[in-house]
Structure 1
């Protein structure tokens, strides 16, 4: 009986040693992983333009200043529509009123202020998919000076309305680029590419074409250039067999 117990005990030790040894081998030989980053980029031309500017008048009488501003507004609207911009694309914002005063000093000491009048300012915004038309108008807007309107123009901003579709296409390109890189690495190491373990998308970047702009960690979105370059990265992790 003692002999049988010794045999059973010895067999248990052998079996336990086998499983412990096998577990050690598994821990000591983890699955090999290839990590690659693919890039997808695309050049495109903006199909939406947003352009803004403002005009103002000054008068010591508030009503007179408002009447003059309203007259200038009609001149601006008539000018823009005569250039081919549709009336529904012209948006006039609310009037901003500023009281103008000059500081008064006596012997270097501030003693109060002198009222100079009221300045009324109104901003106009145009949003259109006729990019070339609005660009031309923004360059010729100084013609309003001949009509007695001092118009201050801001640089146009450019956008793309099909950005969601473009992003999907670029993700596909970046993923394919990463997969090809992984296959090449596996081939050069004498291995075969296995299953995809994980995929992580980088930030979406939009910069002006040939602008030399820096990428941003949070993603860049250029609105100054009509012609842009969009890019995105994909990081893929593959098993290697």
Structure 2
């Protein structure tokens, strides 16, 4: 009886194994058939180029405190003239400098009372006004950045940001890189074709991938794998564009 059971289970296992192999063969056959029917090859093309920023922006602000609203406004106006005189001395024209609205708000201070509880009290007003600078003279921007540290040392009301540097004619740059990336994709497709003894046919579809502008530095990280980025901290930039191309094959 025991031998009969062993024979039965062995036969059942053999049937299941045979069915599994048949199913696997069918699936692989269908996949191979679909691959042959598709008749396409999909490749990515890459193009890189170095560019220099053509214009920059910069912000300089004056911030001050006043015991009352009017005092804060008056002192801010005085400090603003100091900042404007500095920018004029650096060679910035009226067209390169724009003035943003004045912002005056209640100044609050936090302290801990004798019971250890934090409390907030009003103490006068803070006033803030920002000057926005936009210029194509990047050397002038950099000189002004060096000089404003001296003004900051003499005048605590003056604050400033680091300049941001941008490329103009981005669409022209994109078109140039798309052309180069498409050529690169075709070369890659040809290399794949050689190893498979097939021929690359006409272009079936094309799409632009990431468009990345990074600092042109040895250790600069590209953000292309994450959808592209735009570094504005440096004048020298590396622009990278990726395309995905699909070709017929035969």
Q: Fold conserved (TM > 0.5)?
A: yes
Bigger Cα displacement from structure 2, 153-162 vs 166-175: 153-162
What is the root-mean-square deviation of aligned Cα atoms in Å?
2.2
1:31–1:62 distance in 2 versus 1, CA, 3 Å: closer
Aligned residue number for residue 221 of structure 2 = 212
Separation (CA, whole Å) in 1 of partners of 2:40 and 2:73 = 71
The 3-state SS of whatever aligns with 2:49 is strand
The 3-state SS of whatever aligns with 2:226 is coil
Judge conservation of contact 1:182–1:193 (CA < 8 Å) in 2. yes
1:185–1:27 distance in 2 versus 1, CA, 3 Å: closer
Judge conservation of contact 1:144–1:150 (CA < 8 Å) in 2. no
The 3-state SS of whatever aligns with 1:202 is strand
Give per-residue Cα distances to partners, 1:180-231, cap 9 Å, x unaligned: 1112322343322212222122121111112124435332111112111111
1:83–1:168 distance in 2 versus 1, CA, 3 Å: same
Judge conservation of contact 1:99–1:118 (CA < 8 Å) in 2. yes
Judge conservation of contact 1:72–1:149 (CA < 8 Å) in 2. no
Separation (CA, whole Å) in 1 of partners of 2:161 and 2:82 = 19
Aligned residue number for residue 180 of structure 1 = 187
Aligned residue number for residue 237 of structure 1 = 246
Q: Which residues of structure 1 form unaligned runs of 5+?
A: 1-25
The 3-state SS of whatever aligns with 1:55 is strand
Q: Which residues of structure 2 form unaligned runs of 5+?
A: 1-32
Aligned residue number for residue 76 of structure 1 = 83
Q: 1:191 aligns with which of 179, 194, 198?
A: 198
Separation (CA, whole Å) in 2 of partners of 1:100 and 1:54 = 18
Separation (CA, whole Å) in 2 of partners of 1:55 and 1:181 = 56
The 3-state SS of whatever aligns with 2:73 is helix
1:120–1:198 distance in 2 versus 1, CA, 3 Å: same
1:29–1:202 distance in 2 versus 1, CA, 3 Å: closer
Is 1:167 the counterpart of 2:174? The answer is yes
The 3-state SS of whatever aligns with 1:224 is coil
Separation (CA, whole Å) in 1 of partners of 2:236 and 2:85 = 31
Separation (CA, whole Å) in 1 of partners of 2:76 and 2:63 = 7
The 3-state SS of whatever aligns with 2:224 is coil
Separation (CA, whole Å) in 2 of partners of 1:195 and 1:95 = 61
Q: TM-score, normalised by structure 2?
A: 0.78
Judge conservation of contact 1:51–1:138 (CA < 8 Å) in 2. no
Give per-residue Cα distances to partners, 1:153-185, cap 9 Å, x unaligned: 111111111111000100000001001111232
Separation (CA, whole Å) in 1 of partners of 2:200 and 2:136 = 47
Separation (CA, whole Å) in 2 of partners of 1:29 and 1:160 = 45
The 3-state SS of whatever aligns with 1:201 is strand
The 3-state SS of whatever aligns with 2:210 is coil
Separation (CA, whole Å) in 2 of partners of 1:116 and 1:76 = 26
Separation (CA, whole Å) in 2 of partners of 1:120 and 1:28 = 69
Q: 1:107 aligns with which of 111, 115, 120?
A: 115
Separation (CA, whole Å) in 1 of partners of 2:209 and 2:117 = 59
